[in-house]
Amino acid sequence: MKISLHKSRRGFAVIIALVAVAVLAMLAGALAVFMKVENQLAQNGNDDEKLLWLGRAGVERACWILAQEPGGPSSLKQIWAGGPGDGPETNSPLSGVTLDNYPVGDGTVSLHIIELESKININRADTPLLTQVLTTMGVDASLISVVSDSIQDWIDTDDATRPAGAESDYYQGLTPPYYAKDAPMDDIEELQLVKGVTPLMFKGGTAADPNSPFQHHKLGFGNAPGQAEDYPFGLRDVFTPFSNGKININTADANVLQCLPGMDANSSQAIITLRTSDGGADNNNGVIASLGQLQPVVSNPQAFQSINNYCTIRGDTYEVHATAQVGASQREFIAVIYRVGNHTEVVGFHPK
């Protein structure tokens, strides 16, 4: 059987042409994907810049809102906290102001503002306050002095070690080694570096297996030997490194209130009930205008004395979460704002 050389070459040429077409098609597809990725990267870069400025605009709006708030007590009923206003605000520039989806250019920004005086300043917490916090959390009694002393050793500027605390000589023996800060905390995450503080103690919650057929009931404070850690809240929920050093009785939650030395559950609940009332002491619409107004409400003398020692009625420091959105792109930015009278100052700004 004879095979024509001409037909053989022609068939080979067809194969080469098909391969070339396939290669060109793949190259064209790759080029299309590359161009799409490049366009998306360019769009993302453009959106990132827009989101940054939207975040800054949101923080400036938060500054304006805080500056417009009337003097006197600050409370969760005010506009900055997402409340309806506590009276004077209804006749101020804040009337009708919303914190959600404020339009800026072709994007929007939403604000969540937290008054940091609603928490305990970790840099100013003394031994009784730290002990009460750890006791209220249910930290094992054998660890309370360790954590309390170690927190204070971490913050103070000397190298002297408290009886149950730790300085750099202890931390240098860890893997990896590090030094005690010996300076005030500027990020609450630092607590996780302190001797005795466990991850669960920091964030709250339990390590118990929810699928276990035999659940242990917690009786009293602390954990039994071998029992998993179990905390109703974490250190990060009640402490902050930034505030004026006092706790605002109008904005602190029930966990923080119960962490005051001498405070009992009935007294803290009485304060929360007063704050959520429409009337309240001296017809104040639930806003506590002076600590003296709590004396008829807080029957425990030790709790009332603790309120006078640790609390105030107004906040000066705010953490702002500004969520910027452009199209499908979204990013959250965090800032810290100090307020003195009607003057505000941004002292920190970063993406989350």
In the prediction, which pLDDT does 168 show? 97
Sign, Cα dihedral of 62, 68, 72, 77: negative
Measure the CA–CA gap between 268 and 221, rounded to whole angstroms.
Answer: 19
- Please write the tens of the pLDDT for every residue from 94-152: 888 889 999 998 999 999 999 999 999 999 999 999 999 999 999 999 999 999 999 99
Domain range for residue 171? 125-210+217-237
In the prediction, which pLDDT does 28 show? 75
Measure the CA–CA gap between 343 and 3, rounded to whole angstroms.
Answer: 96
Instruction: Say if 230 falls within a structural domain.
Output: yes
- Please write the tens of the pLDDT for every residue from 152-192: 999 999 999 999 999 999 999 999 999 999 999 999 999 99
Structural domain count of the chain = 1
Measure the CA–CA gap between 216 and 306, rounded to whole angstroms.
Answer: 34
Instruction: Say if 200 falls within a structural domain.
Output: yes
In the prediction, which pLDDT does 34 show? 63
- Is residue 10 very low, low, confident or very high in pLDDT (cuts 50, 70, 90)? low
- Is residue 23 very low, low, confident or very high in pLDDT (cuts 50, 70, 90)? confident
324, two tokens:
């910027």
Reported pTM: 0.81
Instruction: Say if 90 falls within a structural domain.
Output: no
Measure the CA–CA gap between 272 and 286, rounded to whole angstroms.
Answer: 9
In the prediction, which pLDDT does 207 show? 74
Instruction: Say if 224 falls within a structural domain.
Output: yes
Does the structure show a pLDDT above 70 at 43? no
In the prediction, which pLDDT does 250 show? 96
Max intra-chain CA distance, the chain: 117
Residue 324 contacts residue 58 (beta carbons within 8 Å): yes
Instruction: Say if 182 falls within a structural domain.
Output: yes
Instruction: Say if 257 falls within a structural domain.
Output: no
Q: The domain that contains 165 carries what CATH number?
A: 1.10.40.60
In the prediction, which pLDDT does 214 show? 44
Instruction: Say if 223 falls within a structural domain.
Output: yes
Measure the CA–CA gap between 206 and 168, rounded to whole angstroms.
Answer: 30
Measure the CA–CA gap between 47 and 342, rounded to whole angstroms.
Answer: 33
Does the structure show a pLDDT above 60 at 213? no
Instruction: Say if 304 falls within a structural domain.
Output: no
